């Protein structure tokens, strides 16, 4: 997975460093130093719960825009993989991005679906309170429309009501909240009424996609929101969960774990140059997410178990953790029990869906694989 080349080109044009790479970086020493300082300040402010994106716009564009765009594209591709019927008959796609910022979420949707031969119109609406952010989004949208006239982007300056109600006369196929709830809602709980007000503006088979930073405080409040929404008859949680039981990680107890994704990608060369001296882990897209739909759509979830950890290799065995309807389960395979039926265990990655047969459930929270255990990677 990689950032589209034309987006890399546009980002560098916006920053007035059109030919930046490892061979030309010496031309932009002063500019690069300034951006790196801005990135450090952004990170420090975020840790202090201060939002200063508009003060350090270049750093945000060069680092956060590509990351947020690819996170959104990754989740949209996951939706299309798991629920293939969604875009099959659509010729027009209507998207709303709440707190759109520089438009990364909108363009992530577009790039995930742009090769659909049926979609003839992308009608995208973005709302944000920042004039500077909207200006960046408008610039990117105008440039992108020259490449694909199917795109229509309408950007609005908008502040939420104090009670976080969302009011609109329109309905949408997809509503996005990409890293925006972290800014809008400071409390430890995301109000149900706000999410329900967004769901009211979805078409019957639409999706609400929430992406949050992969930090404990944001992820766990998203997990708690998920459990509360499942108590409502009109709501269906579609991703990342495969079941409607209480969140397995919220049941772990004192360990205080949190559900988040770590997706490998190939960061653009300019990001590798900018990362020199910062040493950030830019090879992984890390985020928490929740995809919600209306229960009237009656979507069927795939059978299997969600892998919620990376493989953990130890002396004589390999293990990982699964999310199941009964809670978090440790899946273990002794090296000596590797067989033609379970050899794909070594290929598992966080986020995979696996189907298991002939498992030895020694305990409710620990399953042992035998030589006869069949393991299939469903997704």
Counting Cα atoms < 13 Å in the Cβ hemisphere of 124 gives: 29
Question: Under CATH, domain 305-377 is a member of which superfamily?
Answer: Nucleic acid-binding proteins (2.40.50.140)
Predicted confidence at residue 253, as pLDDT, reads 62
Query: Is the confidence at residue 163, as pLDDT, over 70?
Result: no
Predicted confidence at residue 161, as pLDDT, reads 55
* Cα-Cα-Cα-Cα dihedral sign, residues 281, 282, 283, 284: positive
Q: Residue 182: pLDDT band by 50, 70, 90 thresholds?
A: confident
Distance CA 155, CA 126 (A): 5
List the domain boundaries for the chain. Answer: 5-297, 305-377
What's the CATH number of domain 5-297, 3.40.50.150, 3.30.70.1520, 3.40.50.1010, 1.10.150.120?
3.40.50.150
Query: Is the confidence at residue 15, as pLDDT, over 50?
Result: yes
Query: Is the confidence at residue 162, as pLDDT, over 50?
Result: no
Contact 308, 324 (CB under 8 A): no
* Cα-Cα-Cα-Cα dihedral sign, residues 208, 376, 286, 258: positive
Range from 68-77, 213-222, 258-267, 305-314 that averages highest in pLDDT = 68-77
Closest Cα partner for 202 from 291, 275, 116?
291
Q: What is the pTM of this model?
A: 0.92
pLDDT tens-digit profile of 106-159?
999 999 999 887 889 999 999 998 999 999 999 999 999 998 999 999 999 887
pLDDT tens-digit profile of 270-318?
999 999 999 999 999 999 999 999 887 767 888 899 999 989 999 999 9
Predicted confidence at residue 160, as pLDDT, reads 64
**What is the overall mean pLDDT for the chain?**
90
Predicted confidence at residue 24, as pLDDT, reads 96
* Alpha-carbon 186 to chain mean position: 20
| φ, ψ dihedrals at 366, nearest 5° | -150, 120
């Amino acid at each position: 997975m990689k950032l589209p080349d034309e987006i890399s080109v546009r980002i560098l044009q916006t920053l007035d460093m059109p030919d930046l790479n490892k061979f030309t970086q010496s031309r932009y020493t002063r500019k690069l130093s300034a951006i790196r300082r801005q990135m450090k300040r952004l990170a420090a402010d975020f840790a202090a719960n201060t939002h200063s994106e508009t003060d350090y716009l270049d750093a945000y564009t060069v680092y956060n825009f590509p990351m947020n765009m690819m996170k959104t594209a990754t989740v949209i591709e996951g939706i299309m993989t798991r629920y293939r019927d969604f875009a099959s008959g659509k010729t027009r796609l209507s998207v709303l991005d709440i707190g759109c910022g520089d438009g990364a979420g909108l363009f992530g949707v577009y790039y995930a679906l742009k090769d659909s031969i049926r979609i003839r119109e992308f009608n995208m609406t973005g709302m944000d309170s920042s004039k500077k952010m909207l200006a960046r989004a408008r610039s990117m949208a105008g440039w992108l429309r020259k490449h694909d006239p199917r795109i229509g982007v309408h950007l609005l300056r908008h502040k939420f009501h104090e009670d976080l109600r969302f009011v609109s006369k329109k309905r949408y196929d997809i509503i996005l909240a990409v890293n925006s709830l972290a800014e809008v809602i400071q409390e430890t709980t995301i109000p149900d009424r706000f999410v329900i007000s967004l769901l009211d503006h979805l078409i019957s088979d639409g999706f609400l996609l929430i992406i949050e930073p992969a930090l404990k405080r944001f992820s766990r409040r998203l997990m708690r929101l998920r459990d509360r929404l499942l108590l409502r008859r009109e709501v269906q949680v579609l991703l990342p969960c495969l079941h409607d039981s209480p969140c397995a990680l919220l049941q772990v107890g004192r360990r205080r774990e949190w559900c988040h994704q770590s997706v490998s990608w190939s960061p653009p060369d300019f990001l590798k140059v900018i990362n020199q001296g910062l040493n950030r882990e830019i090879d992984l897209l890390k985020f928490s997410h929740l995809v919600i739909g209306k229960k009237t759509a009656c979507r069927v979830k795939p059978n299997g178990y969600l892998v919620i950890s990376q493989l953990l290799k130890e002396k004589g065995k390999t293990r990982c953790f699964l999310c199941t309807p009964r809670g978090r389960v440790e899946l273990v395979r002794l090296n000596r029990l590797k067989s033609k039926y379970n050899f794909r265990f070594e290929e598992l990655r966080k986020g995979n869906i696996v189907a298991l047969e002939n498992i030895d459930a020694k305990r409710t929270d620990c399953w042992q694989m035998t030589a006869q255990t069949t393991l299939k990677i469903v997704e």
